[in-house]
């Protein structure tokens, strides 16, 4: 079945630095991938839709200049959290697949 891989699983970075998270579709091609964020004890919130070869579309309230998304190939989308701050600490999850319902294992980001 469809497998979505995320890397890294967890990352700790200093405030003000940038962090890149990768989302890969391992056994299928994905023209569209989705990025979600989950704060502790809260639900997943859709951040943006990543489109291969074109600009990502962001949900209302999500800063596109802070959360840079690149979908350069049919199997890889990256989310870069720029100038990270402690409030960006969260669990970031991507999804892909023909129907968007295969989720990656997530990336725990802690900004100190």
Where does this chain bind other proteins (CB under 8 A)? 32, 34, 36, 42-46, 49, 93, 95, 99-106
In three-state form (DSSP H/G/I as H, E/B as E, the rest C), the secondary structure along the chain is: CCCEEEECCEEEECCCCCEEEEEEECCCCCCEEEEEEECCCCCEEEEEEEECCCCCEECCCCCCCCEEEEEEECCEEEEEECCCCHHHCEEEEEEECCCCCEECCCEEEEEC
Q: Considering beta carbons, is residue 32 or 89 the nearer one to other proteins?
A: 32
State the nearest-atom distance from the C-beta of 103 to other proteins, in Å: 4
User: Least distance from C-beta 106 to other proteins, angstroms?
Assistant: 5
Query: Measured from the CB atom, is 15 or 101 closer to other proteins?
Result: 101
Least separation in angstroms between residue 70's CB and other proteins is 19
18/105 with CB nearer other proteins? 105
Least separation in angstroms between CB 61 and other proteins: 13
């Amino acid at each position: 079945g469809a497998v979505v891989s995320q890397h890294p699983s967890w990352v700790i970075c200093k405030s003000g630095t940038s962090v890149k998270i990768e989302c890969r579709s391992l056994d299928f091609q994905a023209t569209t991938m989705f990025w979600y964020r989950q704060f502790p004890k809260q639900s997943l919130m859709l951040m943006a839709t990543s489109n291969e070869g074109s600009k990502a579309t962001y949900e209302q309230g999500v800063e596109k200049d802070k959360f840079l998304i690149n979908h350069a190939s049919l199997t890889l989308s990256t989310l870069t959290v720029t100038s990270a701050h402690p409030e960006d600490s969260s669990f970031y999850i991507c999804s892909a697949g023909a129907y968007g319902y295969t989720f990656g294992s997530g990336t725990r980001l802690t900004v100190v």
